[in-house]
Amino acid sequence: MLQLQKVKRSKSKVDWVTENSMSKIDSVFKSLARDWSAEGREERSVAYDRILNALDQYLPVKGIMDGPPRVAVPGSGLGRLAWEVYAKGYSSQGSDFSLPMLLASDFILNGCSIPVNGGLDAEITSQYRQFTISPWIAETKNATSCQERLRTVIVPDVDPSSKQLSRKEDDENESNAAAEFTMLAGEFLSLYSHFLPSHSTSCDQDDHHHHIHHSLSSRKFHAVACSFFIDTAPSLPHYLITIYHMLEEGGLFVNYGPLMYHWSDARYLSNVDYTWSEIRHMILSCGFEILIEEMNIPTKYTSDDESMMNVVYNCTFLVARKRTS
């Protein structure tokens, strides 16, 4: 008699992408459209133009004797603002702690200037390559049509290496030091806490990493420029104190953005959601004098103009100067 035996077949487990990971990827694609597409120019210029104009007005490139002014751009995301600062002639140092954002910014800044012979949906345009993306494909709500969700944008809208090449040519004709463009990976306090008078290395970084960060950013800055950044702080007073000590005497703190306080890990759940008047008081108490304070500026962020819903922030723009002793 034939006996049938059940054969146990191992079922391979399918690891689906988590909702959290999908949210990060979705944010990267929307940020690509905001920072590096022609369609995002109007939205980003509301914030970036104000910041760049303030640097032009209060920190002219030719006004520093020991080389180009040094500007830190924390929370730089995909790097467009940091790149624009560098394109103006400043030594720019962007930083961010989001790995997806850092990977995407590295690809845009360092990968798109490489000539290719087709493939990967890349189009040859002079000396750099562009890619077609659909930033709003994951949006299922408030869509007017499938075509609206599937529509595409081209990134990047400029050659990221063009300003670097032109800066090198300009610097060869100057006797002072060349402008630099660098990007750091890490949380703000772990990168810059060594500027504090009695800093410690207990910011989730070991001595080796702290030494690397110290060597990359040991000189104080002439300006710290922030866009949609300060409300990401787990401890806003510590951020403001660190910014103060990062700056040279007379240095600028330039800030643009709302107060969304949108992070939700354990550190942020114990944070205080400060009002703008409280933040203003802290800025003055740190030792800044306010030069410009503009309130209620209507601003969108990674918005889809063809969607049936758009969020508009009433942002604040601040320019403050570190008082001289």
The closest of 295, 315, 313 to 303, measured between CA atoms, is 313
- pLDDT over threshold 90, residue 303: yes
Q: Residue 61 domain-assigned?
A: yes
Count of domains forming the chain? 1
Q: What is the pLDDT of residues 212-250, one digit of tens each?
A: 454 455 799 999 999 999 999 999 999 999 999 999 999
β-pairing, 288-299 with 91-96? unpaired
CATH number at residue 246: 3.40.50.150
Q: Residue 211 domain-assigned?
A: yes
Q: Residue 25 domain-assigned?
A: no
Q: What is the pLDDT of residues 50-108, one digit of tens each?
A: 999 999 999 999 877 778 999 999 999 999 999 999 999 999 999 999 999 999 999 99
Which pLDDT belongs to residue 209? Answer: 47
Q: Residue 18 domain-assigned?
A: no
ω before 258 within 30° of 0 (cis)? no
Which pLDDT belongs to residue 164? Answer: 65
Which pLDDT belongs to residue 152? Answer: 97
Q: For 172-202, give the DSSP string.
A: HT-SSPPP-EEEEES-HHHHHGGGSTT--ST
Residue range(s) defining the domain that contains residue 50: 41-111+160-322
Q: Are 37 and 188 in contact (CB under 8 A)?
A: no
- pLDDT over threshold 50, residue 175: no
- pLDDT over threshold 50, residue 129: yes
Q: Residue 235 domain-assigned?
A: yes
User: Helix, strand, or coil here: 224?
Assistant: strand
Share of the chain above pLDDT 90, in %: 69
Mean pLDDT of 243-268: 89
- pLDDT over threshold 70, residue 167: no
Q: Residue 149 domain-assigned?
A: no
Q: Residue 26 domain-assigned?
A: no
Which pLDDT belongs to residue 8? Answer: 54
- pLDDT over threshold 70, residue 260: yes
Report the predicted TM-score, pTM, of the whole model to 2 decimal places. 0.86
Host H or E run for residue 148: helix 146-150
- pLDDT over threshold 60, residue 207: no
| CA dist., res. 259 & res. 226, Å (int) | 13
Q: Residue 229 domain-assigned?
A: yes
